[in-house]
Each structure stands twice: as structure tokens, then as C-alpha cells.
Amino acid sequence: MTKPIGRLLILGRSGQLAGALQARAPQYFGAVRAAGRAEADLGQPGAVSALITAWRPHAIINAAAWTAVDDAETHEAEALAVNAHGAGEAAQAARETGARFVHVSTDYVFGGAPGGPFDETAQPSPINAYGRTKLAGERAVLEACPSACILRAAGVFSGGGADFPSAMWRLAQNRTEIGVVDDQLTGPTFADDLADRLIALALAHEASGLLHCASGPQLSWAAFAEACFDLAREAGLPGAQVQPIPSRDFVRPALRPADSRLASTRLEAATGLPAPDWRPGLVKALDAWRSNR
């Protein structure tokens, strides 16, 4: 590997993806800076562009976002400020300073039409406020910085505590049966795998536009929960029995897509990295969850 050079700015500091980026980026960049809300609040006009202009990074990965899907239903304007207006401002500052810009988006830009897996040419059709604000962010980023890369991913997990596997393992400590929806399909993504591909895109200056990180094997959330519990039992930990339930019996403020599976046609060519398999990542996530208990 060549000697690390250049400066990378990570927008986001405390989230699971930002943490994975901070751990992995220093082997590629000479200086890595992670900016949280206190330093670069994307919801406050002018804050992120001031930081980019002052520090002048060579590359920027935007891992900051309003990710509270249910809360976005009643706070869509606030979510839009971060996910779209702030992202667009950061992309504009990147273009003006000559920085490479890589933006993280979501499978939730799909869901209003059947037919997944969806590739990069599929027409987005979000069904909740979070998806709408993230789609608006994609458009704002590409309008401000046409050379930017946008990487869509689904169900990011790390074992850090706030992700789906962590929730399942935590619930299994006190429950023998857990209901999980079996009519929503996804392709969960290990945070380290996503971080590796974002870093590769930050270094691949010829790539631009939309790309998908389509982790596999793709499955229902109930099946993913079963995989979490199977792994826990192998490690000598409690594993609950999954009770598959339909979405209509698990009502939440925001609708979830029945099928938001992603198909990737561009990622490997752009980065040299294939779409990841989440199963090795789940083993690492369980190790992380156990160490953080």
C-alpha cells in the first residue's frame, strides 16, 4: 500500500458508520478529521461550508444525517435541513474548494413500487419522510457537485448498540420469543464493509453519480433476526425464537418499504470491491456487542 497522503474530512463523528470510517481511513489518508454536530451542524446554514473552506480537505465523506425514521414523520423540515440542504451545502463547498465528495444515502428512497432488487437506474419512490429527505439530498448533492459519488446502502449494523442485531441480542436477554416482520425485504450492511467502499470511492476520482452497496444474501428482517439468534446460540448466548409477523401488526409512525433491496451494477468497477456479504460482518458485530455490554 502507498504511503497515506492528503486530508479526509468525515462529516459525522459519533454514529456507527462515522466510527468505522475513523478507524479505517488513517491507513489511506495522511490526516483524518471527524466533525460532529458541534463543529459542523448540517442543519445550520453556513456551518459545514465554513469548516470545509477553512480546513480544505482533499476528500469529504458525508456520513452525517437525520436517521430517526419515525421522528422524521413529524419533523420533516428539520430532517430536510440536514439530509438535503446541509448535504447540498457541503457538496457545493467541496466543488468550490476542489475536494472529492462522497455522500451516503439509503435504500429507503425506494419502496413505493414493487420489483426489487433496484439498480442505480431504477426510479426512486420513497414512502416516508426520511426517504423523501434523503432523495432530496441526493439531488441537491449532484446539482451542487456533479462529480460527487452517492452510495446507497441498507440496514447498517455494527454491534455498537443502536443497530438491529444489537437490539435483537439485547431483547433475547429477557425474552424467549420476539416478533419480527417477515414481509419487508432488505440487504443489511456491516458498517466496516460500507466504510471500506466509501473510502475507496473517496480515492477513486474517476467515479461519480449513484452507486449501490447491495449487501447479500438479501432476506426479510425476520430471517435476519433468526441469523442473529443462531449466531448468539453458537457463542453460548441466549437466542430467542423469532415469531414472524406481518407489517400490519407492527404499526409505526413511518411506513417501511416492503421491498427496498438494492442491486449493484457499478460498485465493483468503481472500487475494485464486490458487494459485501453481511454474514462475516455479523460475527464481528456480535464480538463488538459482547465487548460493549
Point out the residues that are catalytic: 130
User: To the nearest 10°, the Cα dihedral for 130, 133, 137, 140?
Assistant: 170
Q: Taking Cα atoms as reference points, which of 215, 221, 235, 202 lies closest to residue 281?
A: 215
Q: Taking Cα atoms as reference points, which of 45, 35, 39 lies closest to residue 11?
A: 35
Which grid coordinates are listed for 185?
A: 425485504
Task: Residue 272: count other Cβ atoms within 10 Å of its Cβ.
Answer: 10
- What's the maximum distance between 2 C-alpha atoms anywhere in the chain? 55
**Distance between CA atoms of residues 80 and 32, nearest Å:** 27
Convert 139-154 to b/e letters by CB count within 10 Å (16 or more is b).
ebbbebbeebbbbbbb
